[in-house]
């Protein structure tokens, strides 16, 4: 029995922001960005490309592949931390746009690990109630949460959305297992304040505003170690050998984190799907966008074993195994 992915979809904003464009905004260079991060360009939302609209198009593409109508959707989970409004949730906007009148909808914030956490949550909904059809979406417009004068962060992130449709099937396919972790003690290394509070008593002193702040070197070290450990624990728990994995889709943070992780694990490059060069770090959207591209390129065959892993603010991290 399994919570099976029936369809995948994605949506990227039209506007491309290249490293050369960034050279005009901050003191940086295309060479520095590519050598430190592997990123050449990223997509930035324009008018009419809020997170919920990207999410809705990604969802429509996934539903079309799955052959599922809006009325058949029972639950919508959107992993995001950059919706255009705090209330209602991004998921409720998506529900309204889709006309998914039978669905309940909520957001899940686990920063860059949001899609992995959401997939785990969705698979449990599906296994508990085998009649449920669930849309799981990762959608971010981090361009709205970036200090465009901070060269440490503004070069890293991009906007986009990816989605999957999940439903129960009596099969060995589907989400097999996940291993999820959090460590709130390390929040300061990667965080984003809310907008200034209406109650000064509880506003953090000197609230710098709602944009990402990061200790890049520390994040790098923790991310590699944490994802490596999560993957190894998951494989051991499931009694699966790394050689049995057909494709790895890691969170597309940056190429140096990925290369370090993959060399420590001993995974061959040809077994890894990477698109960070085109989109930068799209946080919760990065795995579902990559999953959709890998799927549409025919990189996943029926019965293939897929490994995903992620790391993000919180800290949050983990790994997941799926039989395609």
Q: Is the dihedral of CA 302, 126, 139, 99 positive or negative?
A: positive
Taking CB under 6 A as the criterion, the residue among 125, 213, 216, 242 binding ligand ACO is 216
Residues in 267-286 that interact with ligand ACO by CB under 6 A = 281
Smaller CB distance to ligand ACO: residue 105 or 156? 156
Q: Please identify, among the stretches 32-40, 57-65, 93-101, 124-132, the one whose residues bind ligand ACO according to the rule CB under 6 A.
A: 32-40
Distance CA 157, CA 4 (A): 30
Taking CB under 6 A as the criterion, the residue among 15, 32, 72, 182 binding ligand ACO is 32
Contacts of 262 (CB under 8 A, 6+ apart): 248, 250, 269, 272
* CA-based nearest residue to 264, from 304, 318, 234, 226: 226
Task: Give yes or no for residue 233 binding ligand ACO (CB under 6 A).
Answer: no
CB 212 within 8 A of CB 157: yes
Is there a catalytic annotation at residue 281?
yes
Beta strands per DSSP E along the chain: 2-11, 15-18, 41-44, 75-79, 104-108, 133-141, 159-169, 174-182, 190-192, 212-214, 247-250, 305-312, 316-323
Distance of CA 316 to the CA centre of its chain: 12
DSSP string for residues in 46-112? -TT--HHHHHHHHHHHHHHHHT--GGG--EEEEE-S--S-SSS-HHHHHHHHHT-TT-EEEEE--GG
Residues in 238-257 that interact with ligand ACO by CB under 6 A = 251, 253-254, 256-257
Task: Give yes or no for residue 24 binding ligand ACO (CB under 6 A).
Answer: no
Backbone torsions φ then ψ of 95, nearest 5 degrees: -55, -45
Task: Give yes or no for residue 37 binding ligand ACO (CB under 6 A).
Answer: yes
Is there a catalytic annotation at residue 19?
no
User: At its nearest, how many Å lie between ligand ACO and the CB of residue 120?
Assistant: 18
Smaller CB distance to ligand ACO: residue 43 or 251? 251
Q: Please identify, among the stretches 3-11, 27-35, 61-69, 242-250, the one whose residues bind ligand ACO according to the rule CB under 6 A.
A: 27-35
The catalytic residue among 90, 92, 112, 154 is 112
Task: Give yes or no for residue 219 binding ligand ACO (CB under 6 A).
Answer: yes
Smaller CB distance to ligand ACO: residue 4 or 146? 146
Task: Give yes or no for residue 214 binding ligand ACO (CB under 6 A).
Answer: yes
Smaller CB distance to ligand ACO: residue 78 or 224? 224
Taking CB under 6 A as the criterion, the residue among 155, 166, 175, 306 binding ligand ACO is 155
CB 88 within 8 A of CB 78: no
Distance CA 283, CA 317 (A): 12
The catalytic residues are: 112, 251, 281
Contacting positions for ligand ACO (CB under 6 A):
28, 32-33, 36-37, 112, 151-152, 155-156, 190, 214, 216-217, 219-220, 223, 251, 253-254, 256-257, 281, 311-312
């Amino acid at each position: 029995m399994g919570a099976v992915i029936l369809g995948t979809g994605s949506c990227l904003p039209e506007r491309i922001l290249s490293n050369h464009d960034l050279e005009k905004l901050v003191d940086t260079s295309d060479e520095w960005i590519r050598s430190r991060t592997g990123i050449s360009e990223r997509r930035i939302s324009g008018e009419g490309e809020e997170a919920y609209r990207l999410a809705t198009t990604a969802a429509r593409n996934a539903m079309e592949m799955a052959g599922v109508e809006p009325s058949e959707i029972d639950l919508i989970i959107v992993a995001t931390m950059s919706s255009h409004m705090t209330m209602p949730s991004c998921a409720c906007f998506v529900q309204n746009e889709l006309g998914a009148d039978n669905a309940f909808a909520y957001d899940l914030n686990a920063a860059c690990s949001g899609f992995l956490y959401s997939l785990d949550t969705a698979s449990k909904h599906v296994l508990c109630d085998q009649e449920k059809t669930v849309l799981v979406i990762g959608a971010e417009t981090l361009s709205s949460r970036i200090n465009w004068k901070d060269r440490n962060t503004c070069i890293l992130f991009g906007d986009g959305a990816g989605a999957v449709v999940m439903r129960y099937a009596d099969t060995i396919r589907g989400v097999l297992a996940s291993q999820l972790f959090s460590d709130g003690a390390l929040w300061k290394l990667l965080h984003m304040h809310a907008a200034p509070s209406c109650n000064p008593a509880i506003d953090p002193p000197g609230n710098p505003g709602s944009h990402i702040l990061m200790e890049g070197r520390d994040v790098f070290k923790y991310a590699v170690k944490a994802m490596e450990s999560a993957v190894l624990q998951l494989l051991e728990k499931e009694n699966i050998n790394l050689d049995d994995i057909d494709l790895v889709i890691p969170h597309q943070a940056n190429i140096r984190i990925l290369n370090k992780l993959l060399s420590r694990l001993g995974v061959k490059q040809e077994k890894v799907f990477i698109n960070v060069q085109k989109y930068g770090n799209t946080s919760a959207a990065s795995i579902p966008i990559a999953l959709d591209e890998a799927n549409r390129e025919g990189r996943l065959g029926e019965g293939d074993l897929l490994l995903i892993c992620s790391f993000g603010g919180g800290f949050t991290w983990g790994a997941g195994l799926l039989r395609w």
